[in-house]
A and B are shown apart, each in its own frame.
Chain A
Amino acid sequence: MKKTERQYNEWLDGAMSPTDSEKYERKLGPSDHRLRHIWPEIREALRDHSKQIALAHPDFVNARVLDKIQRPPHPRHTSRISLPRLAWLGTLLLCLFAGGAVLFLPPNTPSRSAADFMSQVISARSANPEISAYSFQIPHGRGSVIWLDNPGYIPADEQVQ
């Protein structure tokens, strides 16, 4: 209840001190004074006409209300798939995947020599008998070179497409 409403009710019921009441009345209009004049009669009439509702089974209703009050609140609905569960599930699946890979994939890392990681020319032959071809390894690399002797010359003004 707001302060203004509380003050108005106190004034209406005559619960305000005479000094406060006098001050308060200055703010009010004639309709308020008329209401205060007839308020005791209204209050009596309301009291006479308001009847208590009789419940058919008051004990049962009372027990239900008390039960409702005393019952602990519903537990918060939580999802069955929580973050930690997801993480563990992911870990388990990864372990299964890794295990499966180790068991079923053929091992692709047999003992290898450095030559296995180098490109090598097995044979090279030029289609043009005037061009000879021979091969060698790139001195400090893993690549290989096919060297064509006399492979020709393209003039600078001709475009290579």
Chain B
Amino acid sequence: MSKACILLAVALFCLALPTVQAADTLWAGVVLATKEDRPGAIPRSLRRLAPGIAEVFGTNTLYLLGERSKPFDVGVDPWMVPTRDFYFQVKALAREASNYVVNVELYEKQSLLLSSEARLAYQAPLLIRGPMWGRGQIVLVLEIR
């Protein structure tokens, strides 16, 4: 009987879990995307993003030049500095049911490169085409995780 009770308690606990909403995290990354004869291993934090980047930029290998994660919510407005040369300021203007309305400013070496307003949904990245570097393409990524 005690085993049944414990199982019931565990099942109820699992049912109750989704009602708890974890804090959101904003992830920013600077990625070098290249097309190589022998594709290299994709870094773990880019595996989910790799198909989208490959489809848009026609590349097959990704190098993570820098990344940064911070807790994110309305009013937090973090500076995301994955690398010293490329960094963001992200302001959450509103929080909607499944996404954030954000204002993004992208800086390259202390000068403003891009200003944008966007809706960022959970695990739906915003890719920004950066400059070319050598034979590769710099891609700047923002994502709610």
* Interface SS of A by simple majority: mixed
Q: Is the CB of A160 within 8 A of B124?
A: no
User: Looking at chain B, what size class is its interface with the partner chain?
Assistant: 35 or more
Q: Is the CB of A146 within 8 A of B126?
A: yes
Instruction: Mark A127-142 against chain B: 1 for CB-CB distance below 8 A, else 0.
Output: 1100101010011111
Which stretch from A4-12, A20-28, A97-105 is at the chain B interface? A97-105
Report chain B residues within 8 Å CB of A142.
121, 123-124
Q: Is the CB of B127 within 8 A of A146?
A: yes
The smallest beta-carbon distance between A141 and chain B, in angstroms, is: 4
The reply to whether the CB of B129 lies closer than 8 angstroms to some CB of chain A is: yes
Q: Is the CB of B13 within 8 A of A94?
A: yes
Within 8 A of B (CB), among A105-161: 105, 108, 110, 112, 116-128, 131, 133, 135, 138-148, 151-156, 158, 160-161
Which stretch from A45-53, A64-72, A81-89 is at the chain B interface? A81-89
Q: Is the CB of B52 within 8 A of A141?
A: yes
Complex Cα spacing A116 to B126, Å:
15
Q: Is the CB of B115 within 8 A of A125?
A: yes
Q: Is the CB of B56 within 8 A of A145?
A: yes
Instruction: Mark B99-132 against chain A: 1 for CB-CB distance below 8 A, else 0.
Output: 1010000000001111111111111111111111
Report chain B residues within 8 Å CB of A120.
118-119
The smallest beta-carbon distance between B33 and chain A, in angstroms, is: 12
Question: With contacts A145-B129, A151-B129, A151-B130 known, is A138 near B16, CB below 8 A?
Answer: no
Report chain A residues within 8 Å CB of B132.
151-154
List 14 A-B pairs, Cβ < 8 Å: A87-B8, A91-B8, A110-B97, A140-B51, A143-B124, A145-B128, A146-B114, A146-B127, A146-B128, A148-B114, A151-B132, A154-B138, A155-B134, A160-B65
